[in-house]
Structure 1
C-alpha cells in the first residue's frame, strides 16, 4: 500500500464572480479549489495535484490527475508485489467508496456481512485516517491554507499551496519522522519510448475492475492470516 488518496477543498474568497459557478460545490458555501493528495502514516505527502475547479468531484479529479502518468508512460518504478500467493503488477492506494474500482485503488466494503469483512473494513478505515491527519496538520500549521484564500491569481494560489506542502515535508524530514530516509535522485526521468498502443495497454491495466476485486479478496485473507499469527492482536 503506497498511501491514502483523497481530496480536500480550499475556500477561495477572492474568486472572480464570473467563475464562481464553476468553483462552487453544494456542500460548500462559496467557491473552492480542489487539492488531491497521497499521504502515508508518517503524514509525508507523496503526491499533490492542486487547481481543479471546486465543482468537480473526486472521480473527475483522479481522471485528470497525473498520479498514474509514469506508470502509463512506462517510466514508473517497479511496484509489483505478492499477497496471498498472488502476484500483482502495481501497488495500490487506499480510497473511499466514490472512487472507481481500478487495479491501483483499494476500497473497503460498504456493508460487510461477516466478521472477516468487518475486520478488514476496520483496519482499512483506521489506515485511511492518515490522509485526514495530513490535511489537518497542513491546515493547522499554515494559517493561510486554513482560511479562505484572498489571492485572485490562480498561478499564485498554486505556488502558495505547493510551497507549504514542500515546507510540510521538510519539517518531517528535519525531525526524522519520515519513513524513507534516503538520498534524493536528481537524475532526469528517461524519455518514454512507448507508442500510443502500448500506453493504452498500460492505462487499461491500471483500471481493471477484476484486479481491484481480486486484490481486495486477497488482502482480506492476508490480514486475517496476520491476525491469527499474532494471536488476534489488532496492533
Structure 2
C-alpha cells in the first residue's frame, strides 16, 4: 500500500532560505576601472636626440653605424620616411588639442625598423625613441603595410628576364658567377600552431617556429 507524505509550512523555513540567499551577492559592486597612468615621455626631446644622432649635418654616428643599426643606408631610409609621411595618414604629422605636435615620422619609422632589425620587443625602443609600447607596435604594423602598398610592385616581386640578366652579370663581376641574389632566413614564432604539429616545428626551445626565407638582390642594400 502506497504511503503519502505531507509537507507542513513553518515560518522558520523562510528564515533559512533568507540566510542562504544572503550568502550570494546578486548585485555585485562594479569593479573600479583602473586609471591609466600618463607618462610624459618628452617626445620632442626624443626627436631632437634622434635627429642629432643620425640625421643632422654633423651627426653623432657616422654612415657605417647608421647602416648597421638600421639595416639600410640613410638615403634609402629617408626615401621610405618621405613616402610614408606624404602617402600614409598614420605617419603624417599631427597636432593635438593643446597645440602640441605628435610623434614625428622619423620616430615612428625608427621604432618600427629597430623592432625589425633587432627582433626586439616593442617597449625596448621607448627609452631612446620616446615612444610607448602600444604605439611602437602600431607603428610597426603601419610601417609594414605601408612598405607593401608603396614599394611592393617595385621591389617585392619576382625578377623579370631583364632583371635576371642584370643580376647575373653583376654577380659575375663580383666573383659569384650564376648568383642572382642572397638568401636569408629567420625563425618566426608560430603562436597558433596546432598542438599536433608542435613537435615538428620546435627546435629545442619548446616554441614552434616557421622559417621565413627571402632572396634579395644586391641593389636593395646599396
- TM-score, scaled relative to structure 1: 0.28
Structure whose alpha-carbon radius of gyration is higher: 2
Higher RCO (C-alpha 8 Å, min separation 6)? 1
Q: Which has the higher strand share?
A: 1
Q: Which has the higher helix share?
A: 2
